[in-house]
Amino acid sequence: MVTARIDVKPEILQWVQNNTGTVLNDTWIEKINKWLNNDGKPTVNQLKELSRKAQIPFGYFFLDNVPNEELPLLKFRTVNNVDIDRPSRNLIDVIHSMEIKQNWVSDYRKQNDYPTSIFSNGYKLIENLDCMNEEQIAEKIMSSLDLKLGWNTELKNRKSFNLLRSKLDQVGVVMYSGIVGSNTHRALSQSEFRAFALDDKYAPLIFINSNDSYNAMLFSLVHELIHIWYGTSELYNDDFKNNYQVLNPKSEQEINHISESIIFPKNLFLDRWKRQEVTGIDRIKSVAKYFDASPLSTGIRAHRLRLISQDDVKRLKTELNQEYQRNKRHQKEIGGGNYYATKAAQTDSAFAMEVERGVNSGNLGFNSAFELLGVKNSTAFDRLLNTIREKGLDIE
């Protein structure tokens, strides 16, 4: 029996080779080079394997022209990082996945006469906004979520992150994950991005890269909710280095200052700082614990209030990075937790319930619902929904 071989356009093979970075090993590079030099053609099975290895859709090999994978979101990234102009397949796929989810939720809400989000573009409802300082703006933002400044003091063990998620559930969609879909072999890079915001008047969406500590994820969540409040989309890729070029210095600086005010109100922060009996990095960590925030964001706030030097921040970053790597190795050694509990925590509960309502009303097919929630069959679908209902968000 003759093996069928596929005539893939050379420009497609060249595009695959140019856009997969270091994902493909030398053996695959050699195979592609042979095909480009008309030394044979790939089989269907070879293309399927290459699709899996290169992490690109199988259908791309049958296109006549190079696929257009422009990501408008890259235009709204925080830091002007040249490397991110060629994003990883993981980043491309997670953005596309979230766009599909957001488009479905937005269309569903429009068709079912939902009101537009009261949070997206919330700044338009505030009079004399230009006359307010960063802490006054922070108060207005938190008030729209029925919270007051100091909301996170003395909360522990992810409570701040979960509380804020529960409030945002009512005005948008928040997702977080450290992998693409359910593929544990496709980890999202913390150095490539920390979070992104996709504004939409019916379904504003925030995605958090969970390959950060929960305390660091809190700052990312606050940062992105402010972008949604201002009606702007953004890819948050801040690496907290001293010298980098920010795409929109004025607006990004303002948003960072508002973020600090939401997590660390000035007077509360100064009072807590003075109360500490310890000094140095231990003082920073103690204050961070009080605000349920990351020591790094605490150190940056302390530096901006002229309580510590830039050298202190550098030493803090070095120690925290070493601690983070130790914890990461430990987590890898002990293995993951319950699959459905983890997936339930990562999935926005309001989004999940709307998917269920869509299925129950007959407006959404099961296959589409499985794709939206990232499950393979009805058993997994029901179990995930039940876990979301049982778990909720631990905010007590």
Write the CB contacts of 173 (distance below 8 Å, at least 6 apart in sequence). Answer: 101, 102, 105, 203, 204, 205, 206, 348, 350, 351
Same domain for 53 and 158, yes or no, is no
Mean pLDDT of all residues in the chain?
A: 85
Angle, helices 214-229/134-143, rounded to nearest 10 degrees: 90
**Cα separation, 203 vs 76, whole angstroms:** 19
219 inside domain: yes
Domain finish residue from 210, 230, 263: 263
Per-position DSSP letters for 77-98, written without gaps between them: BSB--GGGGS--HHHHHHHHHH
Q: Give the pLDDT of residue 67.
A: 81
The pLDDT value recorded for residue 393 is 45
Q: Determine, yes or no, domain membership for 288.
A: no
- How many CA atoms lie less than 13 Å away from 345 in the CB half-sphere? 18
Instruction: Tell me the per-residue pLDDT of 25-53, one tens digit each, with 9 for 90 and over.
Output: 888 888 888 888 888 888 888 888 888 88
Question: Which of 41, 68, 95 is the last residue in one of the domains?
Answer: 68
Tell whether the model's pLDDT for residue 394 goes beyond 50: no
For 374, the domain range is 339-391
The Cα-based distances of 255 to 216, 249, 259 in angstroms read 16, 10, 6
Q: Does one domain contain both 118 and 133?
A: yes
Per-residue pLDDT at 349 exceeds 70:
yes
Domains in the chain: how many in total? 3
- Are 109 and 59 within one domain? no
Q: Tokens representing 311?
A: 């050298």
How, if at all, do strands 195-198 and 183-187 pair? unpaired
- Asked if residue 29 belongs to a domain, the reply is yes
Q: Is residue 322 part of a domain?
A: no
pLDDT band at residue 200 under the 50/70/90 scheme: very high
In a domain, 188, yes or no: yes
Which of 152-161, 188-197, 305-314 shows the highest mean pLDDT? 305-314
Q: How far apart are CA 171 and CA 198, in angstroms?
A: 13
User: Tell me, what's the pLDDT at 119?
Assistant: 94
Q: Are residues 197 and 54 in the same domain?
A: no
Instruction: Give me the count of residues in the chain.
Output: 396
Question: Is 90 exceeded by the pLDDT of residue 152?
Answer: yes
Which residue, 190, 223, 197, 158, is CA-closest to 320?
Answer: 190
Q: Per residue in 16-27, pLDDT tens?
A: 887 776 678 888
DSSP-derived letter for residue 377 is S
pLDDT at 228: 95
Answer yes or no: is pLDDT of 99 > 80.
Answer: yes
Q: In this structure, is residue 273 part of a structural domain?
A: no
| pTM assigned to the model | 0.81
Strand pairing category for 205-209 and 173-177: parallel
Is pLDDT at 167 greater than 50 in this prediction? yes
Alpha carbon distance 135, 91 (integer Å)? 33
Q: Tell me, yes or no, whether 119 and 234 share the same domain.
A: yes
The more confident residue out of 296 and 156 is: 296
283: burial class by Cβ within 10 Å (0-12, 13-18, 19+)?
Answer: buried
Tell me the pLDDT tens digit for each residue of 218-273.
Answer: 999 999 999 999 999 999 988 766 555 666 766 888 999 999 999 999 999 999 99
Q: Looking at the structure, do residues 18 and 87 belong to the same domain, yes or no?
A: no
Asked if 177 and 98 sit in the same domain, the reply is yes
The more confident residue out of 189 and 146 is: 146
Residue 395: the pLDDT is 35
Q: In terms of domains, do 211 and 343 share one?
A: no
pLDDT value at residue 7: 86
Q: Give the domain-ending residue among 68, 90, 105.
A: 68
Both 25 and 146 in a single domain?
no
Task: Say whether both 60 and 78 belong to one domain.
Answer: no
Is 150 among the domain residues?
yes
Overall average pLDDT of the 72-83 stretch = 75
- Nearest Cα to 372, choosing from 108, 145, 146, 165? 108
Residue among 258, 251, 221, 257 at smallest CA distance from 236: 221
